[in-house]
Structures are given as C-alpha cells and as structure tokens.
Chains A and B, each alone.
Chain A
Amino acid sequence: MDPITFSIIRHRLFRIVDEAVITLKHVSGSAITNEGHDLMVSLYRADGSLLMGGVGFLHHLTSAAEACKATIRRFGDDIAEGDVFLLNDPYTAALHTSDIYLVAPIHYRGELVAWSACFVHVYDIGATNPGGFCPDAPDIFTEGFSSPGIRLVSGGRVNQDVMDTLLNMVRSPEMVALDMSSMIACNNVARERMLALIEKYGHETVDEACRTLIEQSETLLRERLRELPDGSWRSRQYIDVNGEVFKVNLTMTKRDDGLVFDFSGSSPQAPHAINCTKWASLGGLFAPLFPLLCYDITWNEGVVRPIEMIAPEGSIVNCTRPAPVSVATVGAIQSVNNAACAAIGKMLDASEKYAGEATAVWHANHFAVFMFGRNQHGGEAIGILTETFAGSGGARNFADGIDVGGEIPNPISRMANVETLETIFPLRYLFRRRMTDSGGPGRYRGGAGMEIGLTPHDAPDGGLHYVVSGKGADFPMSEGLAGGYPGAPNSYIWVKNNEAGTDPRNADAGFGQSVDDLPGEQERISWGVFPLMGDDVLYLRWNGGGGYGDPLDREPGSVLEDCRAGVVSRETAARVYGVAIDEDLAAFDAAATEARRRALAAARVPAEAAE
C-alpha cells in the first residue's frame, strides 16, 4: 500500500492508544493505575486479533485479544454499536479476577470494524482478601466476582443493574466505580478517534493499513528469527510456597522462522493460588518477547503468528477449573515470563548480530504486599506497596543491570515516594535503600534490589494487616546469563514487637538501620495474611537482577566503585569477584587481585578434571 498513507495511519493508531491511556489514568485517579502503570489499552481487529498493543502491562496484550474473541463467540450477532463487555474470568481469557477487561466493539456505518480493550487492576473484587490477592484461596470460587462475559454498557448506556450487582460485591464500591468509569471513558476515546481516522481516510484504506501493519510485523519478526541461530534453550523457575516447591520448565526451540515455547515437565497445578490458565501463560511469554525481540516492530497479531506454545493441561501453567489463580500475575505468569526472558536472552547471546540485545532476567519476583486497615485520617486504606514495581534490571551484554530500574513486562512503572506512602498508610519507614550484594555478580553486575523496614505510626487501630504472596524467599528467580550469578532472592521478616522501640534509654529507639538492628523476635514469612501491630516491623528485601558473564572478568575498578557505593561488600568483592580492596576503600591491590582471580578460577576445576 501507499507507504505515505500507511506511515500516517500507523502513527495515528499508536497515538489513539496513547490518548486512551491518558483518559484511563485521568478518570481512574488511583495510585496503582497512575503510579504502578498497572494498566493496558490496545486496539484489536474485527475478529479480535491484536492490531496495536500499547506500552502497559504487557502480560495482557494477547489475553485481551482472547477476551475480544470470547466475547464474539458468546454474543455472536448480538453485539451492537456502543456496547461494552466486561470479562474477568481467568478460565475464559483474563489473568486473574481483579484485572478486569472491558472490551468494546467499534462500528462504522453499522459494521463491526475493530475492538478496543483495556484493563486496570481494580481496587477490590470481593475476594477473601482485600485487593484481590488471596494466597490461601482453595479455589476460584473464593477469589471474588468473575464473569466470562457480560454486557456492562448497551448502545452507549450503562446497564445500571449489572453495574450495581458488581459494585454490590466489592469493598469500596465507589473506588471500583471509578475504575469502571475510567475504562468506559478510555474505550470511548479509542472509538471516537478510530472513527475519525476511518472518516478521514476511508474504511478500505484504514483496513488495508491495518492488514499491512500486521503482515509487516509478521514478516519482520520472521526475518529476525531467521537471522538468529537455530537451537533449543532451556530455563527453569522454582516457586516456593511455605516450603512446597513448584517448577516451571521451559524448552524454547527455534527453527527457521518459528519459535516454540514448550512448558512440558512443569509441575501439576498447585493447591495454591499461584497457578495460571493457558491464556495467562501465553501473555506471560509474550511480555518479554515484545520488548526483547520486537522493540522496533509494532506489537500485534503478526508477532503472535510465528510463536507456538505447548502448555500441558492440568499443569501449573495451564490449570483447570476450579484451581485458584488470584496470585497468578506474580506467581506462574511471572515465572513463565522469567523463563521466557532467560531463554530468549540465551538465544540472543548466541547471535553475533543480536548479542547486544541479550539480557539476564530482570525483577523476577514481585512481592505484591497489599496493606489494609484504617489509616491515621480515619479512612480505609487498601493498597499495594508500589515498591513491588521497582524491580532491578538484569545485566546486559554490554552494561550492568539498572539498580531498581523496573521490569521488562511493565516497562514504565513508578515507585511511590516514602512521603506519599506515609500519608496513605499509618506507617513509618525505617529505611529504604539499595541492598548490598543483591545484584547477581558477573562481568556485568545485575541491578541491586532494595530493603525496607516498616512499622506502624499513628495507626488508630494500633497497626495494619497485610497480604503477602511472596515467592522467591527460597529460590533466586532472576537468573544470570553467560555464567553470571542469579540476583539474590527476596526476604520477608516479621519482627515481632521490636523491643528497642519501647526502650526510653535508647535515643535511637525504633530507628534501627538494618535487619540485625531490630531486636524483636524475627520470623521468616512469605505467604498469607499477617499483622503489623504495635512495635512490629515488616522487613522486606527484594531480588536483584541476574548477572552477565564471569565475575572474575569484571573490571576491578568497577568492583571498587560498587563497594564505595555500598552496592557490593568488600567480602563479596574478594570472594566472588576476586578483587582485593583496601579497608578504607581507597584502592584495589592489582597484584593481589590477579593472584586471587587465578586461584578462584583454579578452584572451579576439580583436580581430576584438570589433569
């Protein structure tokens, strides 16, 4: 087609998504949508296939396509202009119940020509636990309201009975109502702008541009795949829940211009809410695939076509009803996404041309702590600690991972200021800083994670409760690449009645600066609902990014710099990097370093192997 018109229409389609995202954020006004950027807006073809994916939480791009398709299957001819459908059943298309899809048909002169779809993580979904993450849910029935497709808006008019029914089942219905309004407004903007585009250029031309856009993405990805070497790469993720271990196994095979993700050998579905459905797994593997392989290609159906997924039924990555899935987004889905990131990283690293795109795994482990209770202003506070979005970058083929640099599947999140969090919650932070030695060692170091200490402050009920669905306390999940170590695992510690907090003789009482500085009884926790009352402290430390390459190849000067910045300890510098650094961090000893590195390399080779 005419490349000029094509270029103009493509740009406008991207802007339409952008304007719809702005609308979503504006109307919603919630912290998780605006700060966490836990949202997605995309455009779909008339048949529900992905046309233009936006930069949001990328797990959802393909699942929302399935939501459109499921709506088409369910409602058939009964889809009219101005309708909006709600869908949040994970066994139909959604990831978990609290991520609600609103999908809306776009009609031009009576004909269905496209769909827009969006999601936000709603304030509450009426599940056992406030906020929707229910670590102890035995099945989907306890995970709140769930619909395989229901008409929320008919011909532009909200079906108030449907809306009221939904709002009747959730905590803080006013907040959920705002979430709903924001998604309706967002779909409206997408429709208006899409229709304006069709008005200007004509339906045929826009349709041709859309078709071309998808074909082009397919051609581009297939060409790229052909440039990459053929091979198969494996990765594995462990998910620990209260001492039980579940595995996601991946063999990724690339032949010619196709890519197969085979999850055979993954654990059977779990009795815990970490499972995910197959649509969720597909979303999970596409989340890293879009930015790692398609950074210069439009994210649409064309990118989906060359990819095949094998996910055994009844497994943790393709569970069957009624297995619980509310923790999926930070459970199996995230593990699928980590496994895919690790395998794609290896494939890129095998290519002379694309090695510069290779990365170790970023932020493999959301800790998703939901706080709930009454706050110091007398109001209700339910909310996620946005630190969970502030993961750390995996090391790259050419540079260190970015300390607290975010994550791949949700590239543009933000962590709230301490001053914001201390206003919303009756809490006081003891510290929030980068964690020494958390980044995976390597020639290029994985980005550092952080550690925080939280204690109640001015809480009318003496404190709060929180839901923690924190895997990754036993296993590091941010795998390294090319020999790089994985980033450090998470750690969740409940310090009961931090005694120093009440000791009047100690001027610094209650201001402990490290976990060792908190003298109460310490209990490792990771799963369930816990109190944070009185002088309790929640200590939380999160994973660093994976390293890249041999730590003994790291520039000694960079190791010294890391020590000065407090990101690497002197001990680790010596023991893992083999760099001898002065006690006052003034310099490293080149000769001693050289000798140490030789000795460490030699120690890797057992005597019999060296012979």
Chain B
Amino acid sequence: MSRRVSSTLEIDGGEIRCRKCGHALGPKGAPWKHAAAMTEIPMRGAAGIPYSGGERVVLRRFACPGCGALLDSETALPEDPFLDDVLFD
C-alpha cells in the first residue's frame, strides 16, 4: 500500500514516487529534490507583470523527470539550499 507524502508524491515499495506516473525519486526517509528535474527561472516575470521582484530572485520548480508533473516549487536566492522535507518512518 502506498503512503502519502504530499498531493504530488507518495511512498511505494520503499521509494518516493511521483503520484502521477510512479517515477521513483529515491529511497523513503531521504530528501528527494536532487532527484527531480529542476528548472530555475527568474522570479521577475515568472507569471505575469506583478512578478516584479528583485533581479536575483528565482523560482525553483521541481518536476517529475518521468512525466513533467510539477512536484514542488520554492522561492530562493540561487546560493540557498533546497528546502528539503523528509517524512520519517
């Protein structure tokens, strides 16, 4: 039986997986974002005119390498680490 991680991810067979296509993103209990397809786009203009923030601010989008589904996103400065979430056993 699968276990929910978020509305986009689940744990099945000991692996964190995309809920849409089942693509595996590494073992449960560990950070998964490095295994996702990450695109970093400038926040400025990311979704229309009001996205008028600072030049260095980026929107990180973590997508499923299997199906391209968006799994998570975060606001960041390029040098800052990923916000890793972990579900314990």
Contacts and interface: CB of A to CB of B under 8 A. Distances in A.
The reply, when asked whether chain A contacts chain B directly with Cβ atoms under 8 A, is yes
A191 interface: no
A435 B49 CA distance: 10
Interface string B42-63: 0100111111111001010111
Interface string A479-492: 11011111011010
A222 interface: no
Q: Report the contact-size class of chain B (Cβ under 8 Å from the partner).
A: 35 or more
Nearest to B68: A601
Contacts of B47: 437, 440-441, 485, 488, 572, 575-576
B39 A482 contact: no
A550 interface: yes
Contacts of B48: 436-438, 488, 568-569, 571-572, 576
Interface in B35-89: 37, 39, 43, 46-54, 57, 59, 61-65, 67-77, 80, 83-89
Contact of B50 (A240, A245, A346, A438): A438
A1 interface: no
Interface string A282-293: 000000000000
Nearest to A342: B83
A488 B7 contact: no
A514 to B, nearest CB: 10
Interface string A581-611: 0000000000000000000111111100110
A602 B68 contact: yes
Interface string A455-477: 00000000000000000011111
A231 interface: yes
B77 A349 contact: no
A426 interface: no
A480 to B, nearest CB: 6
A483 B8 contact: yes
Given A604-B70, A610-B37, A231 B77 contact: no
A474 B53 contact: yes
Contacts of B39: 603-604, 606
B50 A544 contact: yes
A189 B87 CA distance: 48
Contacts of B68: 600-605
Nearest to B64: A605
Interface stretch (A54-62, A350-358, A498-506, A530-538): A350-358
A610 B37 CA distance: 8
Contacts of B77: 238, 245
A234 interface: yes
A550 B18 CA distance: 13
A255 B50 contact: no
A346 B85 contact: yes
B9 to A, nearest CB: 9
A282 B34 CA distance: 33
Nearest to A606: B37
Contacts of B43: 475-476, 489
A235, A489, A544, most chain B CB atoms within 10 A: A489
Given A349-B7, A486-B75, A488-B47, A229 B87 contact: yes
B6 A479 contact: no
Contacts of A479: 74-75
Given A230-B87, A476-B75, A480-B73, A350 B65 contact: no
Contacts of B88: 229-232, 255
Given A483-B72, A484-B73, A605 B65 contact: yes
A436 B49 contact: yes
B72 A609 contact: no
A550 B83 CA distance: 18
Contact of A488 (B51, B54, B61, B70): B51
A474 B44 CA distance: 9
B3 to A, nearest CB: 8
A218 B6 CA distance: 27
Contacts of A510: none
B5, B73, B89, most chain A CB atoms within 10 A: B73
A233 interface: yes
A349 B65 contact: no
B69 to A, nearest CB: 6
B17 to A, nearest CB: 14
A551 interface: yes
Contact of B59 (A474, A485, A606): A485
Contacts of B84: 234
A114 interface: no
Contact of A482 (B3, B72, B87): B72
A541 interface: yes
A550 B5 CA distance: 16
Contacts of B51: 437, 476, 488-489
Given A231-B88, A350-B5, 15 more contacts: A230-B88, A233-B85, A238-B57, A245-B77, A438-B50, A440-B47, A476-B75, A486-B75, A488-B48, A488-B51, A549-B8, A569-B49, A576-B47, A605-B37, A605-B68
Interface of B: 3-8, 37, 39, 43, 46-54, 57, 59, 61-65, 67-77, 80, 83-89
Interface of A: 229-236, 238, 240, 245, 247, 255, 346, 349-352, 355, 358, 397, 435-438, 440-441, 449, 473-477, 479-480, 482-486, 488-489, 491, 541, 544, 548-552, 568-569, 571-572, 575-576, 600-606, 609-610
For the complex of A and B, the 5 pairs showing the least CB-CB separation, nearest first, are: A437-B48, A601-B68, A474-B54, A488-B50, A483-B70
18 contacts: A230-B87, A233-B85, A236-B74, A236-B80, A350-B5, A351-B4, A355-B7, A437-B51, A438-B48, A477-B75, A482-B71, A488-B50, A549-B8, A550-B70, A575-B47, A576-B48, A601-B63, A605-B63
